[in-house]
Structure 1
């Protein structure tokens, strides 16, 4: 009778249990069926060498390995270990009774060592859901899988230890992680702080508003003005992750293989900063074997695009739908995979190719029309999804050399969290809107009501500054966030005036 062992396959950020059936009969050839890719087909050669180096032998018989369900494509080398245990059980070298209690995953090296796998967390979650007692996998992945409560996780270094466990000669050490305690201990463990930034109080205020409302923003300024330094500190003022968000974010990084051996659960919001040479597939996800892209790795955090006009036009355009829907769908002939992509977009750019347009001290050397052509590299539909346009000016010497302490991230984060709490209450009856930036035009009209004086101010601003029609809703959303930070039920004139200030790129004549 065939032996059955159990592994798992990851699709998107979810897993499905795979049954590995091993049968032996007369003959000498090896076969793996059930839609395996090349990495799975090669597993028997790795297993044969690993068994030899572990003091055991590969049976010289016909071996048929079936990976069920057979209509789902199996990818990667992590099926090596369950296939090896199935072969050993079918040949009588280990007992088969305990195999049904565990999920087993791991790539086997030629010397019997185990290599890391991807997606250990969703595999463990699905294993518990399917009623398995535990999971045996490489030690490198043990901590991320062990955050699943009431589920035994055993991290092992080599094939020999797994064999000794199943023949009853050695006990494996269970990996235990106190998820809640570890989460609480490291929830605000950031290496940087807003107090590191000298001056730039107006820019810090803009970042505080962006964080409070979940608004996308773009920083425009000359080289060395501090755009990147400010952007990298934005996660430190965002509300702390809750446990659900942390688990969701950890699953994505687990599937992408981005967690180290010391990681168990992600406790701080991710900050992703891809280089401008990135491809559209690397940004949104996909590939022959679909993997999450940078926008999904930034889920529940910040995606920072430095020097935005240097990115290829096609790369920027593929972000438009994920920015609206907060997820990305990867479609293939056989399957469709959804990856979450709810992130804050923060972009930075020089105002012109030389970097010194509108500089208070240095002269711009760009010719007529060059600035406008440079800005036109960013499409209108993408700018339409960015709520705040903030001009960054260089910090003067007196501010840089000042000993006056700057405000730390914690009090700013407390104000942001208080503003977000108001939004949580406002959108409590909706499951698709969580912050002001996500309001639809219809919601803006109902929620962001302003007085007659406010309407007159907004009309005057749009006429005098030449603001475009797309700026209207953005100004109302941002002014609602500013009012939330002030704990105000109504949008006042000062809230509107400040919001109008953050629409630099919409002004007529801004680029000459």
Structure 2
């Protein structure tokens, strides 16, 4: 009887569990038994591993081989267990050193020719291995650069199963005839960020977006077609600061789960997602019948989620955003398991004022009935809108503004603030907020607890809070709206003075909250 073990990682969402892969060779008729709740793709690994081992020059035993994936009650999915299964089986058969295999986490899919193919989710898998205390992982050559983005763990990239056996002391000669398997085909099409200086007019909207970026506040924009809502929203990520190391790891891990090609560096710019209004709730939130796939709100984590034509989305889809907006995470329950993903994003809702889009326009007459207008915007429910801090009315540019910009030419463009200049303002305001909230779980005003702002040393005086208190008494603000307006006032103060908000800052926050531009 021979027994050997190695390790792999089972991913559920972004959470990884280290799985012990045990191989036992016993007397009996030739058989390859795989136990431990494998899914269909993992169950087929028996054929892949057997053929790969033969073609790599190290065939598996002809006796009864049992592979156990422990813990047995944990569901395992995908083909990333192939390498660990093959190494455990060969270690049990004496083809390599069992003690070497037992110290390494193995990840990768085997081709029938013995080559290792890249798999999605390498980055979160390596993070899970490091968290479990492992110091060495072995991955396909195509995933090696991605795996090395995780500090504190040794990464070995191998081209084939034969190379992996040699790494563990197997008595085989290297085979240089095999080319590394191709890198994952999915490529994240990251376009250059648009420039805020391209925006002509609408200076008050740009300033409101700076406030949103500085504090991490959600934004709603309502205006007629052609007013520039989409153009403005698409430029919001360009004024956000670069991601921190932890945020960059989260964003890059999410892309890794989706099978996106990851380069030599972590993704440092905030992501931008703009799903079409026909997107389903599953497309927005995530899910799936087999492996739980992250949706648009997860892909937008630490960045911006734009819902253009928000009133065209089904109400049930929009209301699915309410819980993630509060908690900054989304937990998806399926029969196959429960997955939790980060979902801390800035929401931008852009919508026309009515079905025809001309309501409130000075040059076009709206043909919609009052009830049609109410029904149109009613899809954006009150509870969802209550979570939006800044509500803007966007107007079309007038002829005078266009001609002034055209007449100014390059001179006029040079005087408009660039994304880089606005980003410096945002970063400075965030630094002020982070210093104020040192020792707390938060570093942005939008994340701060309302109780923390209303009590203790950060409580504002009655003169500053007068407008907010009256609005709450009249019922024009909910308690959530009160706290969100207070956070907004702190952001405005951080941008202007860096001190505590005054009555003027609170008034400006209320104007932004109620849908009036500053």
Give TM-score scaled by structure 2 length.
Answer: 0.84
Gaps of 5+ in 2: 177-190
Aligned to 1:143, which of 145, 149, 164?
A: 145
Change (3 A) 1:504 1:241: same
Asked whether the equivalents of residues 238 and 413 of structure 1 are also in contact (C-alpha less than 8 Å), the reply is yes
Deviation at 1:112, TM superposition (A): 3.0
> Structure 1: how far apart are the matches of 2:153 and 2:450?
46
Separation in 2 of the partners of 1:23 and 1:439?
Answer: 54
Residue 435 (structure 2) pairs with residue 415 (structure 1): no
Q: Cα deviations across residues 348-406 of structure 1 (Å, max 9, x unaligned)?
A: 11111122222243332223322111011111000000011112223343255342122
SS at match of 2:21: strand
Identify the residue that residue 194 of structure 2 maps to in structure 1.
192
Instruction: Identify which of 477, 482, 493 aligns with 2:487.
Output: 477
Structure 1 partner of 2:209: 207
In 1, Cα distance between the equivalents of 2:468 and 2:324? 34
**Residue 89 to residue 414, structure 1, CA distance change in 2 (3 Å):** same
2:274/2:307 contact within 8 Å kept: yes
Looking at structure 1, the residues matched to 5 and 200 of structure 2 have their Cα atoms a distance apart, in angstroms, of 63
1:137-286 to 2 correspondences below 5 Å: 137-166=139-168, 167=170, 169-170=173-174, 191-254=193-256, 256-286=257-287
> Among 341, 348, 356, which residue is 2:350 paired with?
348
Alignment check: 8 A CA contact 2:228 2:396 kept? yes
Q: Distance in 1 between matches of 2:472 and 2:30?
A: 83
Q: 3-state SS of the aligned residue for 1:250? A: helix
Asked whether the equivalents of residues 419 and 487 of structure 1 are also in contact (C-alpha less than 8 Å), the reply is: no
Structure 1: segments with no counterpart, 5+ residues: 173-188, 508-512
Q: Contact 1:326–1:343 (CA<8 Å) still a contact in 2?
A: yes
C-alpha distance in 2, partners of 1:171/1:494?
74
8 Å CA contact 2:472, 2:482 repeated in 1: no
Q: Does 1:398 align with 2:407?
A: no
- In 2 relative to 1, CA 84–298 (structure 1 residues): closer, same or farther, beyond 3 Å? same
CA distance in 2, matches of 1:142, 1:58: 26
Q: Given the alignment of the two structures, is residue 436 of structure 1 paired with residue 438 of structure 2, yes or no?
A: no
Q: 1:219 to 1:91 in 2, by over 3 A?
A: same
Query: For 2:293 and 2:489, how far apart are their aligned partners in 1?
Result: 38
In structure 2, what is the Cα distance between the partners aligned to 1:353 and 1:462? 35
Q: Counterpart of 1:19?
A: 20
- Would you say 1:111 and 2:110 are equivalent positions? no
Q: CA separation in 1, counterparts of 2:199 and 2:175? A: 53
Residues 63-91 of structure 1: CA distance to partner in whole angstroms, max 9, x if unpaired? Answer: 21111121211111111111122333334
Q: Deviations over 1:162-205 (max 9, x none)?
A: 34444264499xxxxxxxxxxxxxxxx96332223233211111
Inter-partner Cα distance in structure 1 for 2:236 and 2:262: 27
When the two chains are superposed, the root-mean-square deviation of aligned CA atoms in Å is 3.1
For residue 7 of structure 2, what is the aligned residue in structure 1? 6
Q: Tell me the alpha carbon deviations over residues 89-108 of structure 1, each in whole angstroms, 9 at most, x when there is no partner.
A: 33444444432232111112
Where does 1:124-135 land on structure 2 (aligned, <5 Å)?
124-135=126-137
SS in 1 for 2:67: strand
**1:4–1:100 Cα contact (<8 Å) kept:** yes
**TM, length-normalised to structure 1:** 0.85
Bigger mean CA offset, 479-488 vs 126-135? 126-135
Count of residue pairs the alignment pairs up: 488
- Distance in 2 of aligned mates of 1:456 and 1:322: 30
Among 407, 431, 436, the alignment partner of 1:426 is 436
- Give the structure 2 partner of residue 83 of structure 1: 85
Structure 2 residue aligned with 1:294: 296
The residue aligned with 2:466 is 455
Q: CA deviation at 1:313?
A: 1.6
1:177 alignment partner in structure 2: none
Point out the more displaced range, 70-79 or 267-276. Answer: 267-276
